[in-house]
Amino acid sequence: MNKKTVLLALSGGVDSAVSALLLKRQGYHVIGLFMQTFRDKITTKNPCKNKSSMTDEKMAELIAKKLKIKFISKDYKKDYYNRVIKPMISDYKKGLTPNPDIVCNKLIKFPYLLKEAKKLGADYIATGHYAQIKKAKNENYQLLAGKDKTKDQSYFLYELDQKTLSKTLFPVGNLTKEQVRKIAEKNNFPNWNKPGTKGICFLGKTQGIKPFLETKIKQKKGKILSPEGKPLGTHQGIAYYTIGQRIEEHLGLSINKPKESAQKRYYIAEKRKGNILIAAPENHPFSLKKKVTIKSLHLINSSALIPSSLTARIRHLGQFHEGKLAKSKGNYTFTFKKPVESLAEGQSIVLYHKNQVIGGGEIRV
């Protein structure tokens, strides 16, 4: 019997490195693919300057050599910029809060892995995501949360479909991060204690999205108002901020708090036309929403009945909120059992039944 071949996205991180080892142990013929994506020009203003994809590539190549697997590096930078970065910048300009990691998985990582796997004659693709795939009795595939609830990445994968899931393996999905690091250390992987990626995948070591957006979108000073419409202060442009973000001066958010709430933390509660931000103190009723519209709902199994018992996440590793999904005039809405704070248009709402991902879409308030 011939060995099955797997094309693995080898990123240079510990999760994909251990994935390669586990796949080899399971008898697969493994090919490692390093996907070159974002590589902006290095400038003094560029927040990506501390991140070197070249270093990641070298690490990935080193792991492949150690495991004696074939290594390939492919340049997807142009497509990544045109299909992920440019739309992301456009959405921020519109006042939305997009999630480029989800778009990357949908439009770049998984489709391009499948395309390359077909060229190479590989039977499967694999990544180091903390998620699980289960084949149900009806021959359909289910996407499940990863075993490690503190690292679960199923939120980023809700756009995957049946065809993709049938060809995908997540080797570390049934492990905890601690177990993965121990396996890497035991096998003398040089990246066993490498810090995990935090924040947006392509930015690297940065303080957040704002420094990056400042290199792409011009500042436009605007007003910050209270929920009652009273002037509180100024900001540098609504494109730089998101709903639920704390008002802090180092972010270019300057306000004079009313005496009655001077000791309270203030957060961005709403974006309005005219470059206006609404700020409210923590736990203010104005920041709470009971219902959202879901733009372009994607169901992982479109032929299956949607369970009546659902929970929703509005951000990665966020709280699970109980609620009801409804369809009216072609639009899906999700009504929360209890009002939810900090709902930002453009972010994704991902629906779960127990630990199974049902689907998701973009939030519209």
pLDDT digit string, tens, across residues 139-149: 899 999 999 99
- The per-residue pLDDT of the chain, averaged, comes to 91
Going by pLDDT thresholds of 50, 70 and 90, the confidence category of residue 209 is confident
Q: Which residue has the higher pLDDT, 38 or 133?
A: 133
CA distance 40 to 48: 7
pTM: 0.91
Q: What is the pLDDT of residue 205?
A: 47
Nearest to 358 by CA among 294, 296, 298: 298
125, 236, 253, 284, 363 from 249: Cα distances, Å: 45, 11, 5, 21, 28
Domain boundaries, the chain: 5-128+171-209, 218-283, 287-364
Contact 35, 78 (CB under 8 A): no
Q: What is the pLDDT of residue 46?
A: 42
Backbone angles phi, psi at 133, to 5 degrees: -125, 135
Tell me the pLDDT tens digit for each residue of 51-105: 455 589 999 999 999 999 999 999 999 999 999 999 999 999 999 999 999 999 9
Cα 314–Cα 180–Cα 169 angle in degrees, nearest 5: 65
Residue 352 pLDDT > 50, yes or no?
Answer: yes
Contact 61, 68 (CB under 8 A): no
Q: Which residue has the tokens 């004696």?
A: 68
CATH class, range 287-364: mainly beta
Residue 279 pLDDT > 80, yes or no?
Answer: yes
CATH of domain 218-283: 2.30.30.280
CATH of domain 5-128+171-209: 3.40.50.620
Backbone angles phi, psi at 336, to 5 degrees: -80, 145
Nearest to 5 by CA among 38, 35, 31, 33: 31
Q: What is the pLDDT of residue 194?
A: 76
186-193: average pLDDT: 90
| Catalytic annotation, residues | 104, 201
Residue 267 pLDDT > 80, yes or no?
Answer: yes
In sequence order, the β-bridge partners of residue 357 are 143, 352
